[in-house]
Amino acid sequence: MSAPAGRSLKVVRVVTRGPVFVCLVCLCLADFLLRACLRRFEADSRPQVLQRWNKRLLAQIAVQVSVFGPVPAHGLIVSNHLSYLDIMILSAVADCVFVSKNEVKWWPLVGWIAQLSGTVFVDRGRPSQTNLRQQAMQERLKAGVRVALFPEGTSTDSRELLPFRSSLFEAAVAAGSPITAAYLSYQLAEGDGDPVTDVCYWGDMTLVPHFIKLLTKSYVKATVRFSDAPKLFTDRKQAAVEMQKEVADLENAAKGALPRENQEAFTPSTL
């Protein structure tokens, strides 16, 4: 394909994918607002509603998801953090609620959806709110809801796994909930860019230009690897250390292992 033709195709992808994606986000918000007004979350939980919409959103931007290992039935999921796509992918694979930094609460559309979907927000500047955060996480875990968090505390370029924050494990330890490790990774088609800069979102990157570049890709292959069995802990520091090691082991397996027999693949047509 010639360079001008390639550029034209990228423009077409942005024009056709972008507006529909935004419309889907707006419809997702409207769905949550309507259910909240009608008090219909008893029959259809927030994580399940969020899961359905994230499947549609991922399909719209041609993100293909493969899953290795058993999806945990309940408890806490801890994962490395590479991109804003991580939340959509984990939600689509394992309907869950998230623990997020407080700033997300005020993002247009996305922040409102996060609040309505049951996200637990962490305000690092207000340690006095720690007990409320722990209580909210424990309530969700004890109710059998999957809770997902990124214990590195920030997204990275995938080259290094940062230390896990032990305070984020306190609720699961106190609730006696199992903790499962997960590892996320991304690939692009050959010659279609570098996932480190074009999919991973880190450092001083700006959201809108980064997302527009993502829309130009022919597809994104995302892989989620879960550890074989969840673990129980009685000490949050031990939990942080051991779960970081499990995520690192999954990373090593991702970089050198053959596909496992229990792989379950999701494509844009089936996700």
pTM for the whole thing?
0.91
Residue 267: the pLDDT is 47
**pLDDT of res. 6:** 76
Adjacency order of strands within the sheet including 120-122: 120-122, 97-101, 147-149, 76-79, 179-188, 220-226, 63-68, 264-266
Answer yes or no: is 108 within a domain: yes
- Asked if residue 260 is part of any domain, the answer here is yes
Does the residue 271 lie in any domain? no
Say if 251 falls within a structural domain.
Answer: yes
- Cα–Cα dist 183/87, whole Å: 13
> Which two tokens mark 136?
């909210």
Max Cα distance, the chain (Å): 60
Q: Residue 99 falls within a domain, yes or no?
A: yes
Q: Per the domain annotation, does 149 fall within a domain?
A: yes
Q: Is residue 114 part of a domain?
A: yes
Q: pLDDT tens-digit profile of 132-144?
A: 888 999 999 999 9
* Helix, strand, or coil (residue 87): helix
pLDDT per residue over 171-204, tens digit each? 999 999 999 999 999 999 999 999 999 999 999 9
The 3-state DSSP class for residue 226 equals strand
* Domains of the chain: total: 1
CA distance 196 to 205: 12
Judge whether 245 and 161 are in contact, CB under 8 Å.
no
**Range(s) of the domain holding residue 63:** 3-266
- How far apart CA 176 and CA 128 sit, in angstroms, is 23
- What is d(CA 151, CA 237) in angstroms, rounded to the nearest whole number? 12
